[in-house]
Amino acid sequence: MIAYVTVGADDIARAKRFYSAFLSALGYELEEGPEGLSYALPVPPGQPAILPDFYVKPTFDGRPASAGNGSMVAFEARNQKQVRDLHAAALVAGGSDEGQPGFRDSYGPQFFVGYLRDPQGNKIALFSNDPSEPGRDE
């Protein structure tokens, strides 16, 4: 099980604007501190943590942050409309389009996905795979 994902950022304020534009709608709560941003799903009292957490941090070695070639973090939305809405919100919040929301021939018929780059260049996917919604071939 993945416990957390961390991406580096040189400009934490820009990263906060971008990630807060969609992570709060997915239920993540933000804790901000001198070490960066920590996004986590709320945990009812007495319950185990809901993983994974998502962290946005300055680099530990002090060199510029960079996006990994072939690296991507995917967040699951409730439905196709939410994918479209959150993709648009993330673009307004400083992200760049890496693939408009829609179906892709190489994925399953229900897999609806939009791709973005955060202000640092990290690739982000927002997807829905809800079998109760119309699929690619419907």
pLDDT single digits (tens) 126-136: 999 999 999 98
Q: Which pLDDT does position 138 carry in this prediction?
A: 74
pLDDT at 40 > cutoff 90 = yes
- Closest alpha carbon to 72 in 49, 102, 99: 99
Per-residue pLDDT, 33? 92
Q: Is the pTM of this model over 0.85?
A: yes
The pLDDT score that the predictor gives to residue 98 is 97
CATH number assigned to the domain covering 4-61+69-128: 3.10.180.10
What is the C-alpha separation between 19 and 29, in angstroms, rounded? 11
Percent of the chain with pLDDT over 70: 100
pLDDT for the residue numbered 1: 78
- Distance set, CA 84 to CA 1, 26, 42, 59, 78 (Å): 28, 13, 24, 31, 11
